[in-house]
């Protein structure tokens, strides 16, 4: 009996934890959840896309509103309310929600630029009152329902049997866009490497592909330029005849490395490493095998991989470029996938031995030579990345007993960073990347909580951004303030399966001067639209406010709550920001 009671209590605690976590996420979608007294039993928490969370929010709201006592409504109100709830059901099932690709914070959007209506706007439109929805969008597109001053909306709510508080609960906020966007038409194969040349505003793309952007004969290497959101692909003298795994800028030239061997015009031979002089490929020494990574360290260029240099004719896997040839650095047997700088040393990772002892990760510098760690990483190392002063290693499952594939360096030893992932024989963590405050990992894996059945990228720490794509991610990098991923994937799985073809990006737009605005639930402004004055009220305590136009220019500010004179502002749309422990923003209009 005692064991049974313990089991029941354990199950209850597990359900309560899941319920509380679900509730917290729903309250993030719409803080009106914290006001409800008749919340249904919530489903267990699951990791879902933001679109799926909005669907969950709306489905639960619909369920609750259908169960409420409406005995005081007239027969006509009951009928119209029921029809609107049917419309709401159809709406959330379709998943056609507004897309927030212009603001860096969660915000309502009544109608987006793609003509997607929010839930409340859709209900008004579905009832035959589309002009009311469009009027609201034209004046206060980012406003919360409770902040709106439209007699037409109040009349509609009464006619259809809803309270304003119920409409406010229906209306979600939309987070910054999460789905991956295409870079032109991508490539017809697999992207293995991305290199951002910020000085020249070029993103170099290497891999195993024939064409880029649908028609450009690229042959495994090309570069992309971007202007005002338009991507242009450029070929590089028809590329090379094999895979490109590494790209690096050294001595003002773009070096590429991989597995290719070809004779150029004039009998110029390229053997796995070459450099671009701006119009043609030039040879960079002779190697046999495959070069997997390049790095500039101490003013010199180094290569790692699974190769030997032609002068040595023996396995090397690690070499230094002298300007005319590759100089071997011996004693590593196996293959090296990646190299990174750490504490003024080179950190090499892969699947290799050092003096016949398994290593997979090792340090090197020209004074002390190789230096082993206190313990061995059992699985094959694919990538390294520093995040907030800590070095992390991403690995590929190589069999054996170690199924914790993300490691971090603690002192001189590698320790586990558990992720709770489903580990299979094909699981591989291929790439690590830092984007602003977010630490991301891409590869070939699934998260057990993902409803889509795919992951291939997760945000490990920070804001939790991610790519959801249909196949492996090999490389991530940041270029011109955007996060890019390249790999074997064909389409995005976050929103309507947009075609990507091996490369995609995520865009974060930060309006000038108001990039830290979070949401509008901590303040009230009325009337909205306003005349020559409006009332501003913080929900917690008196705070400072500032009024911006939608281009981000500050026009007015103050520190006193209450009535504010806005007679100097011309008619138009504005954003008001109020600062407390966090920053809140609401859009308003002046007639």
Tell me the CA distances in angstroms from 203 to 36, 183, 234, 414, 517, one per residue in order.
50, 11, 10, 33, 31
Percent helix, percent strand, percent coil in the chain, to nearest 5: 20, 40, 40
Asked whether the beta carbons of 119 and 58 are under 8 A apart, the reply is yes
Instruction: Note the pLDDT of residue 462.
Output: 62
Q: What residues contact 5, with CB distance under 8 A and at least 6 apart?
A: none
pLDDT of residue 178 exceeding 70, the answer is no
Q: What is the pLDDT of residues 495-518, one digit of tens each?
A: 556 799 999 998 654 333 333 333
Instruction: Note the pLDDT of residue 306.
Output: 96
Tell me the CA distances in angstroms from 44 to 18, 23, 55, 297, 372, one per residue in order.
5, 10, 15, 50, 45
Instruction: Note the pLDDT of residue 268.
Output: 66
Instruction: Note the pLDDT of residue 541.
Output: 54
In this prediction the pTM is 0.65
pLDDT of residue 24 exceeding 50, the answer is yes
Q: Which of 310, 387, 391 is nearest to 345 (CA)?
A: 391
Q: Name the helix (H) or strand (E) containing 90.
A: helix 75-94
The Cα–Cα gap between 528 and 223 comes to 49
pLDDT of residue 352 exceeding 60, the answer is yes
Kindly state the DSSP code that residue 145 receives in the 8-state scheme: G
Lowest mean pLDDT segment, chosen from 140-154, 239-253, 443-457, 558-572: 443-457
Instruction: Note the pLDDT of residue 74.
Output: 97
Confidence of residue 4 (pLDDT cuts 50, 70, 90): very low
What percent of the chain lies above the pLDDT cut of 90?
A: 58
Domains of the chain: 22-170 (no CATH), 523-590 (2.60.40)
| Burial label, 142 (beta-carbon count in 10 A; 0-12, 13-18, 19+) | buried
Peptide bond into 503 cis (omega under 30): no
Asked whether the beta carbons of 588 and 569 are under 8 A apart, the reply is no
Peptide bond into 564 cis (omega under 30): no
The Cα–Cα gap between 30 and 171 comes to 7
Total length of the chain: 591
Instruction: Note the pLDDT of residue 204.
Output: 98
| Burial label, 244 (beta-carbon count in 10 A; 0-12, 13-18, 19+) | buried
Instruction: Note the pLDDT of residue 80.
Output: 97
Lowest mean pLDDT segment, chosen from 44-53, 84-93, 507-516: 507-516
Confidence of residue 8 (pLDDT cuts 50, 70, 90): very low
Q: Which of 453, 482, 449 is nearest to 469 (CA)?
A: 453
The owner of tokens 């338009």 is 230
| Burial label, 388 (beta-carbon count in 10 A; 0-12, 13-18, 19+) | exposed
Mean residue pLDDT across the chain: 85
pLDDT of residue 520 exceeding 80, the answer is no
The owner of tokens 């220019």 is 553
User: How are strands ordered across the β-sheet holding 281-283?
Assistant: 243-250, 253-263, 269-276, 281-283
Confidence of residue 312 (pLDDT cuts 50, 70, 90): low
- Find residue 584's DSSP bridge partners: 519, 578
Tell me the CA distances in angstroms from 500 to 107, 175, 180, 374, 453, one per residue in order.
27, 22, 8, 42, 19
Q: Name the helix (H) or strand (E) containing 413.
A: strand 413-416
What is the rounded radius of gyration, in angstroms, for the C-alpha atoms of the chain?
29
Instruction: Note the pLDDT of residue 177.
Output: 66
Q: Which residue has the higher pLDDT, 563 or 480?
A: 480
Tell me the CA distances in angstroms from 60 to 34, 56, 494, one per residue in order.
14, 6, 21
What percent of the chain lies above the pLDDT cut of 70?
A: 84
pLDDT of residue 205 exceeding 80, the answer is yes
Confidence of residue 248 (pLDDT cuts 50, 70, 90): very high
**Beta-strand pair 523-526/533-538:** antiparallel
Asked whether the beta carbons of 454 and 411 are under 8 A apart, the reply is no
Confidence of residue 585 (pLDDT cuts 50, 70, 90): low
Q: Which residue has the higher pLDDT, 336 or 228?
A: 336
Q: Which residue has the higher pLDDT, 358 or 536?
A: 358
Q: What is the pLDDT of residues 99-133, one digit of tens each?
A: 886 665 678 999 998 899 999 999 999 999 999 99
Mean pLDDT of 360-374: 97
Q: Which residue has the higher pLDDT, 320 or 139?
A: 320
Burial state string for 88-99 with b = 16 or more CB within 10 A and e = fewer than 16:
beebbeeeebbb
Asked whether the beta carbons of 210 and 221 are under 8 A apart, the reply is no
Mean pLDDT of 190-207: 97
Q: What residues contact 297, with CB distance under 8 A and at least 6 apart?
A: 341, 346
**The pair of three-digit structure tokens given for residue 111, joined into one six-digit string:** 């109608």
Q: What is the pLDDT of residues 390-431, one digit of tens each?
A: 999 999 999 989 999 999 999 999 999 988 777 889 999 999
């Amino acid at each position: 009996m005692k064991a049974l009671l313990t089991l029941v209590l354990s199950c209850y605690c597990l359900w309560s934890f899941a319920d509380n976590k679900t509730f917290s996420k729903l309250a993030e979608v719409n803080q009106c959840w914290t006001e409800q007294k008749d919340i249904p039993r919530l489903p267990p928490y699951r990791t879902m896309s933001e679109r799926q969370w909005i669907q969950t929010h709306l489905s639960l709201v619909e369920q609750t509103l259908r169960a409420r006592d409406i005995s005081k409504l007239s027969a006509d109100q009951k009928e119209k309310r029921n029809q609107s709830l049917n419309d709401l059901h159809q709406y959330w099932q379709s998943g056609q929600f507004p897309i927030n690709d212009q603001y860096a914070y969660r915000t309502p959007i009544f109608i987006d630029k793609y003509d997607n209506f929010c839930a409340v706007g859709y209900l008004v439109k579905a009832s035959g009152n589309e002009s009311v929805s469009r009027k609201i969008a034209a004046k206060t597109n980012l406003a919360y329902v409770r902040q709106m001053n439209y007699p037409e909306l109040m009349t509609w709510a009464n006619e259809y049997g809803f309270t304003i508080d119920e409409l406010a609960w229906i209306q979600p906020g939309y987070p910054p866009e999460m789905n991956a966007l295409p870079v032109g038409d991508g490539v017809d194969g697999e992207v293995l490497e991305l290199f951002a040349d910020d000085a020249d505003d070029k993103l170099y793309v290497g891999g195993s592909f024939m064409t880029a952007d649908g028609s450009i004969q690229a042959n495994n290497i090309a570069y992309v330029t971007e202007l005002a959101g338009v991507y242009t692909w450029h070929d590089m003298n028809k590329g090379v005849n094999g895979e490109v795994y590494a790209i690096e800028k050294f001595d003002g030239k773009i070096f590429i490395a991989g597995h290719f061997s070809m004779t150029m015009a004039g009998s110029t031979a390229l053997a796995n490493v070459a450099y671009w002089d701006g119009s043609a490929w030039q040879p960079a020494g002779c190697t046999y095998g495959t070069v997997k990574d390049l790095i500039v360290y101490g003013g010199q260029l180094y290569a790692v991989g699974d190769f030997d240099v032609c002068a040595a004719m023996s396995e090397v896997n690690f070499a230094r470029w002298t300007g005319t040839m590759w100089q071997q650095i011996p004693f590593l047997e196996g293959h090296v996938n990646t190299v990174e700088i750490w504490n003024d040393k080179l950190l090499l990772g892969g699947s290799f031995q050092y003096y016949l002892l398994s290593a997979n990760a090792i340090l090197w510098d020209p004074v002390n030579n190789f230096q082993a760690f206190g313990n061995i990483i059992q699985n094959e190392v694919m990538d390294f990345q520093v995040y907030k002063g800590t070095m992390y290693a991403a690995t590929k499952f190589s069999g054996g007993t170690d199924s914790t594939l993300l490691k971090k360096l603690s002192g001189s030893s590698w320790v586990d960073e558990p992720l709770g992932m489903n580990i299979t024989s094909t699981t591989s963590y291929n790439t690590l990347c830092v984007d602003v405050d977010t630490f991301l990992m891409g590869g070939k894996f699934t998260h057990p909580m993902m409803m889509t059945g795919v992951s291939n990228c997760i945000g490990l720490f920070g804001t939790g951004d991610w790519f959801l794509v249909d196949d492996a991610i090999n490389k991530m990098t940041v270029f011109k303030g955007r996060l890019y991923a390249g790999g074997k994937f064909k389409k995005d799985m976050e929103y309507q399966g947009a075609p990507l073809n091996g490369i995609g990006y995520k865009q974060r737009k930060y309006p000038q001067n108001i990039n830290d605005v979070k949401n509008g639930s901590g303040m009230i402004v009325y009337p909205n639209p306003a005349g020559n004055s409006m009332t501003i009220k913080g929900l917690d305590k008196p705070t400072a406010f500032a009024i911006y136009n939608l281009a981000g220019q500050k026009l007015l500010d103050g520190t006193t709550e209450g009535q504010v004179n806005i007679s100097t502002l011309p008619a138009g749309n504005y954003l008001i920001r109020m600062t407390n422990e966090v920053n809140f923003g609401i859009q308003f209009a002046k007639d």
